């Protein structure tokens, strides 16, 4: 059965793409991102043993026969952003060289390296509600009365330097400050 061609308005207005550059770098690139993240002093003390194992499992490469590379993925992310496609920052954690939570910091840095501004990268992960809207999570993605109030407080301005997302000063879940472990 032939599918009708979607209109350009639908493609740009309704399409969302999960970026997953971090895992693609592990599979298609040199595969050292996870090791570097595990050694990062602002991350290392907070990793579980399982997260550390996942991050340092590589390098794992699909080899020279792989048809795509991290350069192509990075260029594609930039092209999608330029076209107005909604980008959702995601690390595809549970794959080699990734760990839940920690790898998102690396993903944000890779989005900036792809040409997004730090502000655009942060939006892809949190605000202006693209991630929350796409997954029907209407109680999160922004700070407002009556919402979930998950918050990461950093020392610095991540809209100017995305690396400051690693300078975590405090964490709140459902409106309550929680200790970092």
Q: E strand or H helix at 152, and its extent?
A: strand 151-154
Global pTM value: 0.83
What one-character DSSP code corresponds to residue 172?
E
What would the pLDDT profile of 38-69 be if each residue is shown by its tens digit?
Answer: 999 999 999 999 999 999 987 666 666 665 66
Query: What SS3 class is residue 56?
Result: coil
- Residue owning tokens 């579980």: 48
What would the pLDDT profile of 111-128 be if each residue is shown by its tens digit?
Answer: 999 999 999 999 888 865
């Amino acid at each position: 059965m032939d599918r009708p061609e979607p209109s350009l308005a639908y493609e740009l207005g309704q399409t969302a793409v999960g970026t997953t550059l971090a895992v693609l770098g592990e599979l298609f690139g040199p595969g050292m991102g996870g090791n570097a993240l595990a050694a990062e002093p602002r991350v290392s003390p907070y990793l579980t043993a399982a997260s550390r194992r996942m991050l340092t499992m590589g390098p794992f490469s699909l080899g020279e026969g792989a048809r795509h590379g991290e350069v192509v993925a990075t260029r594609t992310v930039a092209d999608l952003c330029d076209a107005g496609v909604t980008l959702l920052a995601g690390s595809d954690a549970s794959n080699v060289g990734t760990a839940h939570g920690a790898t998102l910091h690396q993903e944000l840095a890779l989005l900036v390296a792809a040409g997004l501004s730090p502000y655009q990268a942060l939006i892809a992960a949190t605000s202006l509600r693209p991630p929350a809207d796409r997954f029907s999570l209407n109680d999160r993605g922004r700070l407002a009365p009556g919402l979930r109030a998950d918050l990461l407080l950093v020392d610095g301005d991540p809209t100017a330097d995305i690396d400051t997302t690693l300078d975590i000063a405090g964490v709140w879940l459902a409106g309550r400050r929680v200790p970092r472990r």
